[in-house]
């Protein structure tokens, strides 16, 4: 039984699969060649992250595939329904990367609140000559404690974001289509814990009341945040997207940054990924990372193990 981890998998995942009798191939095959590779090597399990696309043509032409796995949460690069129609199991790892993504959200949020993403660019260039000027330019930061963080989408990642926000003294409001109430438990280093009960807000109220907004929704056909939504937001607010590209209208975002309605944005995902708009890339009010939300050693270890466990359980169940 052969597994192709085309976008990589942790050593722990490989070791677990190999110990269970699978042969795991960790090789990046070009999209144009992957169908032939799967067929020529009798691959039964295909594991991907966000780079490899698993569309109808691949599913139709790879008759030996029994499992398609996504190392991560969103599965918009896989034709999930069609694969299931063809009797292929489709799995993902919804819990493994939640903490890593939530921590990246706050890395951006802390950075933007104090303009670190801009001063880190300018200090190497001007710090020796314009130190006092730069000090004045970046003296107008803001604290996060006591501010309102609005979370759009309150699944696993949204809840982890809420935990960090509550831990630093922020007011948390959320909007979710499926969850109207949520119990949040924060565990502390000494084994103690604290429970919070939150009730969902309306979307419009969240936009109006939040000092900062963090998006945690799957890929959408239409924008969630565009001109209408920006117009409802507080003047001087900030927005973070570590979910999926295309949920924010980036042209509208830039317009509202330029007219000072929005103080800053932080993007880990982009509309035109992997070739983001040059207008976005050049805008100093936008803090950017190249889609690395789940790219921590800890998350990748958990993803590999979780995928391996699911694959082994599926084969044991059907053998």
Q: What CA–CA distances, in Å, run from 307 to 67, 68, 76, 277, 302?
A: 11, 10, 18, 34, 8
Q: What CA–CA distances, in Å, run from 277 to 20, 53, 227, 229, 271?
A: 45, 22, 18, 21, 8
Question: How many other C-beta atoms can be found within 10 angstroms of the C-beta atom of residue 176?
Answer: 20
pLDDT at 94: 86
Over residues 151-208, the pLDDT tens digits come to 999 999 999 999 999 999 999 999 999 999 999 999 999 999 999 999 999 999 999 9
Residue 178 falls in the annotated catalytic set? no
Cβ contact 119:138 at 8 Å: yes
pLDDT tens string for the chain (319 positions)?
A: 899 999 999 999 999 999 999 999 998 999 999 999 999 999 999 999 988 999 999 999 999 999 999 998 888 899 999 999 999 999 999 889 999 999 999 999 999 999 999 999 999 999 999 999 999 999 989 999 999 999 999 999 999 999 999 999 999 999 999 999 999 999 999 999 999 999 999 999 999 999 999 999 998 889 999 999 999 999 999 999 999 999 999 999 999 999 999 999 999 999 999 999 999 999 999 999 999 999 999 999 999 999 999 999 999 887 6
3-state helix, strand, coil in the chain (%, to 5): 40, 20, 40
Provide the H-helix boundaries in 116-215: 116-126, 131-137, 156-167, 203-209
Among residues 117, 216, 291, 302, which one is catalytic?
A: 291
Over residues 7-34, the pLDDT tens digits come to 999 999 999 999 999 999 998 999 999 9
Q: What is the pTM of this model?
A: 0.90
Residue 159 falls in the annotated catalytic set? no
Among residues 12, 126, 251, 273, which one is catalytic?
A: 273
Cα 230 to Cα 166: distance, rounded to the nearest angstrom: 25
pLDDT at 219: 87
Among residues 49, 70, 159, 244, which one is catalytic?
A: 244
Token pair, residue 241, equals 């997207």
Element (H, E) at 300: helix 297-318
Domains and CATH numbers, the chain: 2-94+297-318 (3.40.50.720), 98-288 (3.40.50.720)
pLDDT at 28: 93
Residue 126 falls in the annotated catalytic set? no
Dihedral angle of Cα 307, 308, 310, 315, to the nearest 10 degrees: 140
Cβ contact 9:71 at 8 Å: yes
């Amino acid at each position: 039984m052969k597994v192709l981890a085309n976008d990589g998998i942790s050593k722990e995942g490989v070791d677990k699969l190999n110990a269970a009798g699978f042969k795991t191939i960790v090789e990046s095959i070009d999209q144009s060649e992957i169908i032939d590779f799967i067929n020529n090597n009798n691959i039964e399990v295909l594991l991907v992250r966000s780079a490899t696309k698993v569309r109808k043509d691949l599913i139709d032409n790879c008759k030996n595939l029994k499992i398609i796995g996504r190392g991560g949460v969103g599965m918009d690069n896989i034709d999930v329904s069609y694969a299931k129609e063809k009797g292929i199991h489709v799995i993902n790892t919804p819990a493994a990367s939640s903490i890593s993504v939530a921590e990246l959200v706050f890395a951006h949020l802390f950075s933007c609140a104090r303009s670190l993403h801009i001063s880190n660019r300018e200090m190497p260039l001007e710090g020796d000559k314009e130190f006092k000027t730069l000090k004045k330019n970046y003296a107008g930061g803001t604290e996060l404690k006591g501010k309102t963080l609005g979370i759009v989408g309150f699944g696993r990642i949204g809840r982890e974001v809420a935990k960090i926000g509550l831990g630093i003294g922020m007011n948390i409001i959320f909007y979710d289509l499926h969850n109207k109430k949520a119990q949040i438990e924060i565990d502390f280093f000494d084994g103690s814990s604290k429970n919070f009960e939150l009730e969902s807000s309306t979307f419009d109220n969240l936009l109006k009341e939040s000092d900062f907004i963090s998006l945690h929704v799957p890929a959408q056909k239409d924008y969630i945040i565009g001109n209408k939504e920006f117009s409802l937001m507080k003047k001087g607010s900030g927005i973070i997207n570590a979910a999926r590209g295309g949920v924010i209208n980036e042209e509208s975002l830039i317009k509202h940054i330029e007219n000072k309605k929005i103080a800053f944005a932080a993007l880990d995902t982009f509309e035109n990924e992997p070739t983001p708009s040059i207008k976005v890339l050049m805008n100093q009010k936008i803090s950017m990372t190249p889609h690395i939300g789940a790219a921590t050693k800890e998350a990748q270890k958990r993803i590999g193990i979780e995928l391996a466990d699911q694959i082994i359980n599926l084969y044991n169940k059907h053998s």
